[in-house]
Amino acid sequence: MKKHYTLYALLICMLAGAFTSCSEDDLNPASVITTGEKVENDFDRWLVANYVNPYNIAFKYRYEEMESDLNYYTVPAEYEQAVQLAHIVKYICVEAYDEVAGINFTRAYFPKEFFLIGEWEYKNNGTFILGTAEGGKKVLLAGVNYLNQYKNSIASLNHYYLKTIHHEFTHIMNQTKEMPTAYQFITGNSYVADKWSESPYNAGYLKRGFISSYAQMEHGEDFAEMLSLYVCYPASQWQAWMDEAGEEGASLINSKLTLVKQYMADSWNIDLDRLRSSIQRRSADLEAGRIDLNDLTLK
């Protein structure tokens, strides 16, 4: 269905009217809605210098109907929070792979497009989508307009954004080079498809050999959850999960982790523990405030 942007803008003004008047003085000149004509701003130039030129990655923060999933109600990403997320993704995700695998790996395999939307994609089962990967090239990042609530906590950033990026990039790598066949048989009879968010599967999953509730969906999601959670969270958190899993659950999870590490080493020449160390160090830098998330200086 074609959206009429004039009506959309009018509706925004009407909703905002409960708090303030909708006038030209109130509007941010940096539009986040694509209407066919784009006025380049400092952020656009920064993205060219930091994403397009070195990696050929498009980081799309303006709303584009053709990039959106029309099965969900979506809203544009807010400009300021999109700027900050672009810095976070570059420093913690993109440059971590540069450091460990080399920039040529990142250029060749990292997703070529990020598309940002402001809201989560809510499903009718009470869950919501944090992000998706399409065709080995595009990653959708949802919920950008909540970034200000989570940016000062690396645990929250991991849960809502960073884990999603590593998870979706794992799918992209698996689409290029297949995951080990043996992986699907470790807990082969225990996958529950869409019931993963329902009782009793939404609890006790560690003891059943799954690193997250969502990992119970199917073996491809399980593999992506294993890799993304392992690199995003510190050793102390991983050990806490293994303690909770108990002997049997931890044995199953560690068997899966062995195959994930083997896959990354054999297929991509990436030491997963070295990647994890890079991500952890960069995460600590961010949490300590050593990264300016608003700097759009061209260097």
pLDDT in tens, 170-188: 998 998 999 999 999 999 9
For residue 45, CA distances in Å to 5, 53, 125 come to 25, 11, 41
R_g (Cα) of the chain, nearest Å: 20
pLDDT of residue 1: 43
> How many angstroms separate the CA atoms of 38 and 34, rounded?
7
Closest alpha carbon to 273 in 286, 289, 257, 288: 257
Q: Which pLDDT belongs to residue 70?
A: 55
139 forms beta bridges with 114, 133
Rounded to an integer, what is the distance from CA 194 to the centroid of its chain?
Answer: 21
pLDDT band at residue 147 using 50, 70 and 90 as cut-offs: very high
pLDDT tier at 135, thresholds 50, 70, 90? low
Q: Which residue did the predictor score with more confidence, 30 or 253?
A: 253
Q: What is the pLDDT of residues 112-127, one digit of tens each?
A: 999 999 987 667 676 7
Portion of the chain with pLDDT greater than 70, in percent: 82
Q: Give the mean model confidence (pLDDT) for residues 154-162.
A: 92
Would you say residue 233 has pLDDT above 70? yes
Rounded CA separation 46/85 (Å): 13
Please compute the mean of the pLDDT values over residues 134-148 and round it to a whole number: 84
Query: Mean pLDDT, to the nearest integer, of 67-84?
Result: 80
Q: State yes or no: pLDDT of 22 exceeds 70.
A: no
User: What is the value of pTM for the model shown?
Assistant: 0.81
- Separation CA 83–CA 47 (nearest Å): 9
pLDDT band at 132 (very low <50, low <70, confident <90, very high): confident
Residue 141 CB partners (closer than 8 Å, separation 6+): 85, 89, 114, 115, 116, 117, 130, 131, 161, 164, 165
Provide the pLDDT confidence category of residue 11 given band limits of 50, 70 and 90.
Answer: very low
Instruction: Name the least confident of 51-65, 83-97, 114-128, 197-211.
Output: 114-128
Task: Tell me the domains of the chain and their CATH numbers.
Answer: 41-287 (3.40.390.70)
Residue 23 clears pLDDT 50, i.e. is over it: no
Q: What is the mean pLDDT of residues 65-87?
A: 80
Q: Is the pLDDT of residue 133 over 70?
A: no
Most confident of 8-17, 19-28, 131-140, 274-283: 274-283
When pLDDT is averaged across residues 266-283 and rounded to a whole number, the result is 98
Look at residue 140 in the predicted model and tell me its pLDDT: 87
Contacts 24+ apart (CB under 8 A), 211-219: 211/241, 211/253, 211/256, 216/190, 216/191, 216/192, 217/191, 217/192, 217/193, 218/191, 218/193, 219/179, 219/183, 219/184, 219/188, 219/191
pLDDT of residue 139: 86
Q: Does the pLDDT at position 25 exceed 50?
A: no
**What was the pLDDT predicted at 121?**
67
Question: Is a pLDDT exceeding 50 seen at residue 162?
Answer: yes
Asked, as a colleague might, if the bond just before 234 is cis with ω within 30 of 0, I would say no
Higher pLDDT among residues 15 and 66, named by residue: 66
Is pLDDT above 50 for 230? yes
In angstroms, the CA 157 to CA 216 distance is: 23
Is pLDDT of 141 > 80? yes
C-alpha to C-alpha distance for 48 and 138, rounded to whole angstroms: 17
> Does residue 118 contact residue 145 with C-beta atoms inside 8 Å?
yes
Q: Looking at the predicted structure, is the pLDDT value of residue 216 above 90?
A: yes
The closest of 142, 166, 172 to 283, measured between CA atoms, is 166
